[in-house]
Amino acid sequence: MFNFVVNRGVKAASVQRIYNTFASFNLPRYVSSFATVDAEKISGSSPAEVLNLVQGKWVGSSNYNTIVDPLNGDSFIKVAEVDETGIQPFVESLSSCPKHGVHNPFKAPERYLMLGDVTTKAAHMLSLPKVSDFFTRLIQRVSPKSYQQAHGEVFVTRKFLENFCGDQVRFLARSFAVPGNHLGQQSHGFRWPYGPVAIITPFNFPLEIPVLQLMGALYMGNKPVLKVDSKVSIVMEQFLRLLHTCGLPVEDVDFINSDGKTMNKLLQEANPQMTLFTGSSRVAEKLAVDLKGKIKLEDAGFDWKILGPDVEQEDYIAWVCDQDAYACSGQKCSAQSLLFLHENWSHTSFISKLKDLAERRKLDDLTIGPVLTFTTESMLEHMNKLLEIPGSKLLFGGQPLKDHSIPSIYGAIKPTAVYVPLEEIVKDNNYELVTKEIFGPFQIITDYKSNQLPIVLDALERMHAHLTAAVQVIGNTVNGTTYAGLRARTTGAPQNHWFGPAGDPRGAGIGTPEAIKLVWSCHREIIYDIGPVPKNWEVPSST
- Burial status of residue 245 (CB atoms within 10 A of its CB: 0-12, 13-18, 19 or more): middle
Given a contact cutoff of 8 angstroms between Cβ atoms, the answer to whether 76 and 258 are in contact is no
Residue 37 DSSP one-character state: -
Q: State yes or no: pLDDT of 347 exceeds 70.
A: yes
Residue 327 has pLDDT above 70, yes or no: yes
User: Contact 472/306 with Cβ under 8 angstroms?
Assistant: yes
Higher pLDDT, 2 or 35: 35
Radius of gyration for the alpha carbons in the chain, expressed in angstroms and rounded: 25
Q: How far apart are CA 73 and CA 7, in angstroms?
A: 9
CATH topology of domain 304-494: Aldehyde Dehydrogenase; Chain A, domain 2 (3.40.309)
The CA distance from 371 to 262, in Å, is: 25
For the cut 80, the answer to whether the pLDDT of residue 136 exceeds it is yes
Is 298 marked active-site?
Answer: yes
Sheet strands (E) in 489-534: 522-529
Residue range(s) occupied by CATH 3.40.605.10 in the chain: 87-299+515-523
Q: DSSP per residue over 113-147, as a string?
A: HHHHHHHHHHHHHHHSHHHHHHHHHHHHHHS---H
Contact 401/412 with Cβ under 8 angstroms? yes
Span 72-122, pLDDT tens digits = 999 999 999 999 999 999 999 999 999 999 999 999 999 999 999 999 999
How sure is the predictor about 309, in pLDDT bands with cuts at 50, 70 and 90? confident
Give long-range contacts, CB 8 A cutoff, 24+ apart: 267-271.
267/198, 267/291, 269/87, 269/91, 270/87, 270/90, 270/91, 270/94, 270/95, 270/196, 270/198, 270/225, 271/196
Weakest mean pLDDT among 70-84, 253-267, 294-308, 453-467: 453-467
CATH 3.40.309.10 range(s) for the chain read 304-494
| Residue 330 Cα distances to 258, 307, 336, 362, angstroms | 26, 20, 8, 14
Give one DSSP letter per residue of 354-366, joined into a string.
HHHHHHT--GGGT
pLDDT at 308: 86
pLDDT reading at 442 higher than 70: yes
Q: What pLDDT does 342 receive?
A: 92
Residues of the chain with pLDDT > 90: what percent? 73
pLDDT at 490 over 70: no
What pLDDT was estimated at residue 476? 59
CB of 512 closer than 8 Å to CB of 167: no
What would the mean pLDDT of 202-220 be, rounded to a whole number? Answer: 95
Instruction: Give the integer Cα–Cα distance in Å for 356 and 359.
Output: 5
Given the residues 81, 208, 237, 298, select the one marked as catalytic. 298
pLDDT at 149: 93
**SS3 at position 108:** coil
- Residue 458 banded pLDDT, cuts 50, 70, 90: confident
CATH code at 87-299+515-523: 3.40.605.10
The continuous run of DSSP H or E covering 58 comes out as strand 57-59
Can you give the pLDDT at residue 300? 64
Apex 483 CA angle, 493 and 279, nearest 5: 45
Active site residue 165: no
The pLDDT assigned to 22 comes to 40
The answer, yes or no, to whether residue 483 has pLDDT greater than 80, is no
On the question of pLDDT at 498 being above 90, the answer is: no
Catalytic hit among 165, 246, 321, 333: 333
Given a cut of 70, whether residue 16 has pLDDT beyond it is no
pLDDT digit string, tens, across residues 350-406:
999 999 999 999 999 999 999 999 999 999 999 999 999 999 999 999 999 999 999
The arithmetic mean of pLDDT across residues 413-426, rounded, is 96
pLDDT tens-digit profile of 390-418? Answer: 999 999 999 999 999 999 999 999 999 99
Mean pLDDT of the chain: 89
